[in-house]
Structure 1
Amino acid sequence: MAETAQTVSFPVDTPSGPRRTEVTYRRTGAGEPLVLLHGIGHHLQAWDPVLEILAVEHDVIALDLPGFGRSPALPAGHPYDLPSMTSSLRAFFEALELDRPHVAGNSLGGVLALQLGQDKLVRSVTALSPAGFWTEAERRWAYAVLRGMRATARRVPPERLARLAATPAGRTAMGCWIYARPARRTPEALIAETEALRGATGFEATLAAGRSVLFTHEVADLPVTVAWGTRDRLLLPRQGVRAKKVVPGARLVRLPGCGHVPMNDDPALTARVILDTAR
């Protein structure tokens, strides 16, 4: 069973000097450390379907990225671009005394995981539908979907959200853009992630910073897997082929029947891909 959420405080650099920030995380299991990074607008609970499987072999740390879930926004002046976010994650690793953990990330978390690998801060990388391998048209499509999801989350009143979440059709309507099987989400999980999207203080800043994100360099000398759901409607599966060209040493894995957040659509397959990479 996952441990209760904890918080850790650590310093980050800002134009006015070092400031402290705080991150919420959950930690469970034993073995080599494995850090899990969620996508934009999501929260650490995105990993719940695979957490106990991974914890059989690893000391698993799932965190709310700064400005998402229960983690507050970064201090004023600290950007949300790729170098700054990976610098913050380096500080998080140091605060928890994690020596080059394995890392798995989804979407935003996937490109962060690849950057951590390029910076040699981790032992292995599993990137699930990572951002940053898009064309400009594909990026605009993804941003339009994300902005629409955010607007819906902020507009739907709690009582209507509860009614939608109570039925398979309602869960499908709310989660169809990121899950291939959204009706499998529990009502409680759907409500919690919609509230996380509604309250994500880092959402706009992360979107703005992401306009310039295009991952173009190799990740050498460590195991890397890029995995893509065949039913990903947000970041289309053909982007996985580009990722393989950019990171030729990576293993490219197709996740049949999975959407953009495969941990829910096929927990066993997703966990196996992560564990195989870490091994």
Structure 2
Amino acid sequence: MSLHIEFSPRSGRPLLVLLHGWGLHSGVWQPVLPALQQHFDTVQVDLPGLGRSPALAGPCSVQTLAAEVLQAVQQRRPESAIWLGWSLGGLVAAEAARQAPERVRGLVTVASNPCFVAQHDWPCGMAPDTFDGFVRALESDPARTLASFALLQSRGEGARDTLRALKALLAESEPAAPGDTLQLLAGDYRRTLGALTQPALHILGGDDQLVPASIEVPLQQLQPRAQVRLYPGAGHLPFYSHRARFVEDLIAFVGAQL
């Protein structure tokens, strides 16, 4: 399978694999990319079925997405890397860390929930009825649903600029399999995350409308050795509204692993 991947030139800096969230593509990293590339070599991937990458030929799962990305990155950059995933990308990055621990030296998730839809023992997620309604809305009017999703992601500090950027990203590329990839968010991936042994950093937004700030404590309990950072005032894209802090935290985390 041929995924859309952009590799920065080799500089000898630590390697950072960047995975975007649902409905978008790797262009979401552009506002923070120049700052990141001062400290890291980067690999930007469009996940299968999203952005400029084709959908999977068979069943779509987080496991198959992670396997495809691992194979594609391995072909060009076989060394171990820090994998950073935003939202849905965080689930894929965690699964990659499970499948190939020798390739994923550290995990960073941003505004990601290992169980996006609430369960009886995991209340810090989206109500099941709300998620089901979102699925139905996507089936009936994909464009309008994606626009509404962009609005939800734009709450918090810098909301107007964030919304403008997301609308531009949505206009660039229509996802090939939005429905299949949306269904991945209904899964429960807590066991995957809890079983990882790599160092981990989880960054959350205090005003995130999709991943509630209340996840901070249970996420720390799920991974007691992980670092959890909550950015007050940040929405679903902390690397937009709190760019300097985001880069600083990432540099500190990666530096501790070297």
- The match for 1:23 is 3
Q: 1:49/1:92 Cα in 2 relative to 1: closer, same or farther (>3 Å)?
A: same
Which structure carries more strand by proportion? 1
- The match for 1:258 is 234
Deviation of 1:131 (Å): 2.9
Checking the alignment, whether the CA contact within 8 Å between 1:37 and 1:62 is kept in structure 2 is yes
Q: 1:93/1:174 Cα in 2 relative to 1: closer, same or farther (>3 Å)?
A: closer
Match of 1:109 among 89, 99, 108: 89
| 2:151 matches 1:176 | yes
Q: 1:174/1:39 Cα in 2 relative to 1: closer, same or farther (>3 Å)?
A: closer
- The match for 2:36 is 54
- The match for 1:88 is 68
- The match for 1:207 is 182
SS, match of residue 200 in structure 1: coil
CA distance in 2, matches of 1:192, 1:47: 13
TM-score by length of 2: 0.81
Amino acid at match of 2:51: G
CA distance in 2, matches of 1:147, 1:62: 30
CA distance in 2, matches of 1:175, 1:242: 27
Deviation of 1:106 (Å): 0.6
- The match for 2:167 is 191
CA distance in 2, matches of 1:274, 1:35: 13
- The match for 1:277 is 253
Match of 1:234 among 205, 210, 214: 210
Deviation of 1:150 (Å): 8.5
Checking the alignment, whether the CA contact within 8 Å between 1:225 and 1:251 is kept in structure 2 is yes
What runs of 5+ residues in structure 2 fail to find an aligned partner? Answer: none
Aligned CA-pair RMSD: 2.7
Checking the alignment, whether the CA contact within 8 Å between 1:93 and 1:99 is kept in structure 2 is no
Percent of aligned pairs with the same amino acid:
22
Bigger mean CA offset, 215-224 vs 110-119: 215-224
Deviation of 1:240 (Å): 3.0
TM-score by length of 1: 0.76
Deviation of 1:148 (Å): 5.3
Checking the alignment, whether the CA contact within 8 Å between 1:129 and 1:240 is kept in structure 2 is no
SS, match of residue 126 in structure 1: strand
CA distance in 1, matches of 2:111, 2:88: 9
Deviation of 1:214 (Å): 2.9
CA deviation vs aligned residue, 1:23-72 (integer Å, no higher than 9, x gap): 11222263121100000101111111211111111111111111111111
Deviation of 1:209 (Å): 3.5
- The match for 1:70 is 52
What runs of 5+ residues in structure 1 fail to find an aligned partner? Answer: 1-20, 162-172
CA distance in 2, matches of 1:249, 1:47: 27
